[in-house]
Structure 1
Amino acid sequence: MIAGPLKQGDSSDDVKTLQQALTAHGFSPGVVDGQFGQGTVAAVMAFQKSEGLLPDGIAGPRTLCALDLANSDASPSAIPAVTVQVVSQMFPVTPIGNIKANLPSVLSALIQSRISDKPMVLMALATVRAEVECFEPIAEGQSRFNTSPNGHAFDLYDNRKDLGNRGAPDGASFKGRGYVQLTGRLNYQTYGPKLATPVDLVNDPDRASDPVVAAELLALFLADRELAIKKALLAGNMATARQLVNGGSNGLDRFADAYQRGATLIPNLAAD
């Protein structure tokens, strides 16, 4: 078994074993010489695409496990490095008391959903800052984006078929809540049963603002989009990563700022 990760520039017997495994799976790296060159990078990427993994050309835990070269596909966790002090630097205007109170449940939920590697931890925290910079799982307020000039609260959500809404009062009932600002009947219906302790969010939507439930919803929502998010982040496309969660660019400046701050504060770990 190989501990990994293995990447371009490496030279070892482990690289040779990797090359042999790639060849056996039908993805030839060229000469099997123990040198992780461009041919091996290309073969790794082709294998990763075939397996639905992040095509970064690095043989990390998930790639090695898929090649039967590792016993576990678990990526190294960034959680030990994510302290209140670190997060307070990512949230420069947020009361530190809110971070102390709510960070533990968010980190626990990320571990539970198996997205505790650095990119996804940064994605989660940057999402929280973009959606609820106060770092509390609050409910969405009225704005020109959800309420018409002469309409009732959240009337612009009432008939949003893309959200699964069926008319009033769905807009107000399924407005954004929690750290990810979960919005729409469809999302409440989808994610309630996925919680560790399932909750009927359709009939009790305010539970989405409970700190523990909100943390789990954030983690579950991001986990469902993990590969697409990581592809966007690998390409350096913050706008696409943000859109995968928000559906638009609202809060992009806060999102990108938090992510970039955290990227310099949290040590780099192995890739997938």
Structure 2
Amino acid sequence: MLRLFPKRRLLTQRAVCSIQRASFSTTFIRWNESKPEAASSQSAPRKKRPLSRIPIGGTSTQQQKLKETNLEFASWKAALLMIAVGGGLWYFFTSEKKRIQVQQDAEANRGYGKPLVGGPFNLVDTEGKPFTEQNLKGKFSILYFGFTHCPDICPDELDKLGLWLDMLKKEGYKLQPIFITCDPARDSPEVVKEYLSDFHPDIIGLTGTYEQVKDCCKQYRVYFSTPPNVKPGQDYLVDHSIFFYLMDSDGEFIDAMGRNYDNETGPERIKEQIDAFVPKAEREKKKTSGWSLW
């Protein structure tokens, strides 16, 4: 028994060594088999991940809120843009429609062939210088027919005209104002000059002989009359129509403005006519070419 024990111990040690060697071999084989896979994974290029819109420390809920905020902001911008564009188009087409309507009215007032209102006349100003229809060309003019002994209507209308002139001048509109007497028997150049000194300094006064004044009133379809059997030196009133006659820069009539025009509507109407004006040469050219703005 004592002889067999060392031999058994030796066999046991050899068995342990064999088991350890087998375990090491198995581990080494497994390590070799997994090494190429690790190498291949290291050698393969890494795909770049898309940048996240979530801020550092953020969550997916924050990302959803960010998207909703951006969408709401874009919707507001689109709405504001649509309102601005729509408003601009509406203003443009409304203004253009109104301008064309004003042009049509002016063309109708001018008439075809012989003008319905306006024409040649021959008068003198307060300095005694000749003044004819040729002096109306090159600028817009506004004519008023009255008389210096008028107690109320003429002064009121001339005061209103002065306000119109100042308002138009501030906005860069030039207008030639003219006062033509319907009472040449009493309204000499000197009398007209003194009378107009109480009103706007730009107003030009015109007079002439009875026949000259009568012919001018006839051209402009102005009604006036004096009482019959007037004695020399006798005071009297002249009955006449009350209108402002607006003339374009070609010297042609475009509008008659009655007492219904006040300090707001009067200047606005004049500005509309000036802005919508088309020169006569251009109007004739359009007619001959076979097309028109109207």
- Please report the TM-score for the alignment, with normalisation by the length of structure 1: 0.24
By percentage of residues, which structure has more strand?
2
- Please report the TM-score for the alignment, with normalisation by the length of structure 2: 0.23
Structure of larger gyration radius: 2
